[in-house]
Amino acid sequence: VLIQNMNRKILQADGVIIATPEHNHTIPAGLKSVLEWLSFKIHPLENKPVMIVGCSYYDQGTSRAQLHLRQILDAPGVNAIVMPGNEFLLGKAKEAFDENGNLIAEGTRQFLESTLQKFVEFIDVISKLEGAKPKDLPEDLHAKGTIETTIEGVDMAADDW
């Protein structure tokens, strides 16, 4: 049900922002699992504008995790359109926020606002290139539709697959 809900929400969205921490120089296993579920029989991120953001406790922010995530989002079966450049990498996250959860550094706040504005513009450009898409797509709760990665005549649930 969770994946079906995420699928529906992503399909209805004009763009998606994915936030990631960095663990052992990559994205967390939970995020990787969700992306795999969203790229097997359903493909809601295909041709969807995506922005990557992240923060970590250390100086480099999430640079390596974001690079890995960008590679995953570009892979066959996912095919997201990731916004180039303008990564938001927040390092030293423990010291970056006040007691109300607001960013302390004005420069960081301005950069985030600028990056978000560029993402809105990126979405506009991509939507013009891709053309209008229907907002109310029929739900395929059992993912029985034929897709590019489906091999006709092969039972993907078979033990020998």
pLDDT one-digit tens code per residue, 89-141: 888 888 999 999 999 999 999 999 999 999 999 999 999 987 765 555 566 56
Task: Count Cα neighbours of 74 within 13 Å in the Cβ-side half-sphere.
Answer: 10
Give the residue among 72, 52, 60, 59 at the shortest CA–CA distance from 116.
Answer: 52
DSSP secondary structure letter of residue 96:
H
| Whether the Cβ atoms of residue 78 and residue 66 lie closer than 8 Å to each other | no
At 34-49, the pLDDT tens digits run 999 999 889 999 999 9
User: 135 — phi, psi (to 5°)?
Assistant: -85, -35
For the chain, domains (ranges, CATH) are: 2-130 (3.40.50.360)
